[in-house]
């Protein structure tokens, strides 16, 4: 069964304290892995798509990496405005249109 | 550029009342469209997806239904709401040439 597990569930960082969020996945052939940022009461905002192991994408203080079993979202020198829930999702290459989402990591960055 | 709209933003409805949530996408043609429900502490649950006008696939058997009367319009409906229908409803679209989804602002539904 296709599955996505994110850890930790919640993370508190001091401003400037770098860390990583984990997304472990089990899927019958990966078409793509997606990272989103979601602020309270709003829809998820697309961040990155990763297609194959070894691929990396960067945007400002965020860097996403992918292996055959997991993805990491590295946050370098975070600021309070990076506080949000970060969601990971996968799409299998089995021909369906479905996306499997994790439950997210709630990140709080303290000033 | 592409834009996705959802309305209403918030809705409070009594049990047994009907529901209609609307989603429209601008700036693209023939997108794949999705309805999700997000409950606190849980991942996004796919409810319906559509690959074209009148083509709807249901993922979860329940008292909700969806329709796509126009290329860029997706409607979520119910004849009689249940308390368990409360949640945050999200519409999303995907360009046929790409794999990432883009989400609307969401509708917070509270059934009382």
Q: Which candidate from B41, B49, B103 shows the least CB-CB separation from A43? A: B103
Given an 8 Å threshold on Cβ–Cβ distance, is A46 in contact with B49? no
Model confidence over B68-98: pLDDT tens digits?
A: 999 999 999 999 999 999 999 999 999 988 8
**Residue B21 to residues B9, B11, B26, B110, Cα–Cα distance (Å):** 9, 9, 17, 13
pLDDT value at position A95?
63
Contact B102, B92 (CB under 8 A): yes
- Region of B61 on the Ramachandran plot (φ > 0 left; ψ -120 to 50 alpha; else beta): beta
A102 touches chain B (CB under 8 A): yes
- Three-state secondary structure call for residue B84: helix
pLDDT value at position B61?
63
A45 touches chain B (CB under 8 A): yes
pLDDT value at position B42?
76
A17 touches chain B (CB under 8 A): no
Model confidence over A53-110: pLDDT tens digits?
A: 999 999 999 999 999 999 999 999 999 999 999 999 999 887 667 899 999 999 999 9
- Picking from B83, B73, B71, the residue whose alpha carbon sits closest to that of residue B35 is B73
pLDDT value at position B1?
84
């Amino acid at each position: 069964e296709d599955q996505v597990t994110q850890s930790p569930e919640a993370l508190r960082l001091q401003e400037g304290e770098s860390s990583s969020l984990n997304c472990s996945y089990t899927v019958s052939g990966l078409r793509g892995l997606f990272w989103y940022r979601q602020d309270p009461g709003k829809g998820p905002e697309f961040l990155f798509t990763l297609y194959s192991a070894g691929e990396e994408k960067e945007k400002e203080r965020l860097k996403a990496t992918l292996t055959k079993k997991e993805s990491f979202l590295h946050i370098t020198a975070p600021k309070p405005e990076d506080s949000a829930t970060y969601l990971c999702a996968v799409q299998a290459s089995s021909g369906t249109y479905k996306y499997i989402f994790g439950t997210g990591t709630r990140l709080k960055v303290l000033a | 550029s592409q834009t996705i709209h959802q309305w209403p933003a918030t809705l409070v409805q009594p049990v047994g009342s009907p529901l209609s949530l609307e989603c429209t996408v601008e700036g693209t043609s023939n997108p794949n469209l999705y309805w999700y429900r997000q409950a606190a502490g849980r991942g996004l649950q796919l409810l319906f997806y559509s690959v074209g006008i009148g083509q709807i696939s249901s993922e979860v058997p329940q008292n909700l239904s969806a329709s796509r009367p126009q290329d860029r319009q997706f409607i979520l409906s119910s004849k009689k709401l249940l308390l368990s229908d409360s949640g945050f409803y999200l519409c999303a679209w995907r360009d046929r040439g790409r794999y990432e989804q883009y989400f609307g602002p969401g509708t917070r539904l509270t059934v009382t």
